[in-house]
């Protein structure tokens, strides 16, 4: 019988499709009361896992439990767990209301519930329109509305932000946090940690079907050492000074030094002792996205060509191109290596991690420390643009989030 815990439990889950292993040795628990991110690159087995939890796919071995029982044994599945798996699953000839009323009937809910969830996701005005003409963002909202019909204790979402506009993404984040804050369970998958960073409290990171990290986001962030970015009049003098103190220093392509092992104040003292003038000083906390890339690196063998073809436009300006060429090819872990050992959080890298080797060169993300590293409008909330280091950007983003959703109980997360 249901244990009423609202917990999702995945035990030694294993799934193969013929010779292809999609998921192996996966173990994790999703507890109620918080948003859990299920992260990993495309093809890492996220969707397969979610579909196994929901009883749509049969595990090769292992088991998944929802509210204490396998999905197939839930008496009122829609009232226990709601899921957004596929934003395309509507009959084009149905209106949004028609679509929802199919499932209110199937689950024995009052028909008014259809209009209630439409209002909840902001689709009231489109209730009478056929889903044929819905945009991707509207489909995502309707899929979410479908999942919410039974007011489930557990909500499972597979890449729910795909196709949503920035406003929709910000809304969704607030919604999920508020939903979890009522003591319910939310498991949301994404291939972008950045997209989830301000929404989730816990993360399960998978790569090649295996769990590589399972724990709180705070802990993960703590494994990343903070650095001080500094521009000085005489970097050479400063680095020789730093070498004596045991602090690590690295040149960035824009001429700044990234120093680990000291804080900003210590940095200023050191610079004074070295007799160099500080032109710019900035503290930088660990970049989760980079850590995420490292954890999930090397999934695809095609990644041993980390660079775009010459002549690809660089948003930083072509003058930096040669330097970037020097910096980018310093992968600490050669691509194509074995998957990192599962469980305990890996040791933080001593140096700032190399950019993702398989990042599409079209994205051409500038190195993380570049001050010019902004793409996308500020309102994007870091959802899709590369995440800037500048704190004022984040302030603006949080304001945006809160203005979009007053229920955002967690507010902006301290970084």
Residue ranges in contact with another protein by CB under 8 A: 51, 54-58, 71-75, 77-78, 81, 83, 85-86, 88-95, 98, 101-103, 105-108, 146, 149-150
Give the shortest CB-101-to-another protein separation in angstroms.
6
Give, rounded to a whole angstrom, the gap between the first and last alpha carbons of the chain. Answer: 42
How many angstroms from the chain centroid is the CA of residue 367? Answer: 19
Shortest distance, position 58 Cβ to another protein, whole Å: 6
Taking the least distance from each CB to another protein, the nearer of 37 and 77 is 77
User: Is the Cβ of residue 67 or residue 316 nearer to another protein in the bound state?
Assistant: 67
Using the structure block, give the residue that is written with the tokens 């850590």: 291
- Least separation in angstroms between residue 144's CB and another protein is 12
SS3 letters for 151-192?
A: CCCEEEEECCCCCCCHHHHHHHHHHHHHHHHCCCEEEEEECC
Q: Please, what is the minimum distance in Å from the beta carbon of residue 143 to another protein?
A: 8
Indicate the residue among 56 and 372 with the shorter CB distance to another protein.
56
- In the sheet that 20-30 helps form, which strands lie side by side, from edge to edge? 20-30, 8-17, 61-66
The two structure tokens encoding residue 286: 């660990």
Q: In whole angstroms, what separates CA 215 from the centre of its chain? A: 14
Query: Min. distance of Cβ 106 from another protein in angstroms?
Result: 4
Indicate the residue among 90 and 292 with the shorter CB distance to another protein: 90
Cα–Cα distance for residue pair 211/200, rounded to 1 Å: 17
Backbone angles phi, psi at 347, to 5 degrees: -65, 145
CB of 187 to another protein, least distance (A): 14
Residues 6 or more apart whose Cβ sits within 8 Å of residue 201? 34, 35, 36, 180, 216, 217
Would you list the DSSP string of 292-317? HHHHTTT-SGGGG--SPPTT---TT-
Between 91 and 361, whose beta carbon lies closer to another protein? 91
- Alpha-carbon span 222 to 295, nearest angstrom: 15
- Compute the least distance from the CB of residue 64 to another protein, in Å: 14
Closer residue to another protein (CB): 152 or 388: 152
Is residue 343 within 8 A of residue 219, CB to CB? The reply is no
Instruction: Pick the closer one to another protein by CB: 71 or 171.
Output: 71
């Amino acid at each position: 019988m249901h244990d009423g815990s609202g917990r999702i439990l995945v035990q030694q889950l294993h799934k193969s499709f013929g010779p292809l292993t999609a998921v192996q040795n996966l173990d994790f628990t999703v507890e109620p009361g918080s948003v859990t991110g299920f992260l990993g690159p495309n093809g890492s087995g996220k969707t397969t896992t979610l579909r196994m939890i929901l009883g749509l796919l049969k595990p090769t071995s292992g088991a998944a439990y929802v509210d204490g029982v396998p999905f197939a044994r839930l008496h009122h599945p829609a009232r226990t767990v709601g899921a957004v798996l596929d934003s395309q699953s509507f009959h084009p000839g149905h209106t949004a209301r028609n679509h929802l009323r199919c499932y209110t009937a199937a689950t024995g809910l009052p028909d008014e519930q259809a209009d209630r969830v439409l209002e909840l996701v902001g689709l009231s005005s489109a209730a009478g329109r056929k889903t044929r003409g819905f945009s991707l963002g509207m489909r995502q909202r309707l899929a979410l509305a479908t999942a919410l019909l039974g007011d489930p204790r557990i909500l499972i979402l597979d890449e729910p932000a795909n196709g949503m506009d920035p406003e929709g993404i910000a809304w969704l984040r607030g919604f999920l946090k508020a939903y979890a804050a009522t003591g319910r369970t939310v498991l949301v998958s994404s291939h972008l940690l950045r997209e989830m960073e301000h929404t989730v409290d816990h993360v399960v990171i998978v790569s090649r079907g295996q769990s590589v990290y399972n724990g709180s986001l705070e802990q993960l962030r703590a494994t990343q050492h903070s650095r001080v970015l500094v521009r000085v009049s005489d970097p050479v003098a400063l680095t020789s000074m730093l070498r004596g103190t045991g602090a690590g220093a690295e040149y960035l392509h824009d001429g700044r030094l990234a120093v680990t092992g000291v804080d900003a104040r210590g940095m200023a003292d050191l610079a004074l002792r070295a007799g160099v003038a500080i032109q710019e000083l900035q503290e930088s906390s660990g970049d989760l996205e980079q850590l995420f890339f490292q954890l999930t690196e090397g999934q695809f063998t095609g990644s041993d060509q980390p660079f775009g073809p010459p002549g690809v436009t660089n948003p930083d300006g072509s003058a930096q191109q040669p330097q970037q060429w020097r910096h980018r090819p310093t992968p600490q872990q050669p691509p194509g290596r074995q998957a990192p050992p599962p469980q305990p959080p890996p040791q933080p890298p001593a140096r700032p991690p190399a950019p993702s080797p398989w990042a599409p060169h079209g994205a051409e993300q500038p190195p993380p420390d570049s001050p010019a590293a902004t793409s996308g409008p500020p309102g994007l909330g870091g959802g899709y643009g590369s995440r800037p280091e500048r704190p004022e950007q984040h302030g603006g983003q949080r304001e945006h989030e809160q203005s979009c959703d007053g229920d955002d109980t967690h507010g902006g997360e301290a970084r």
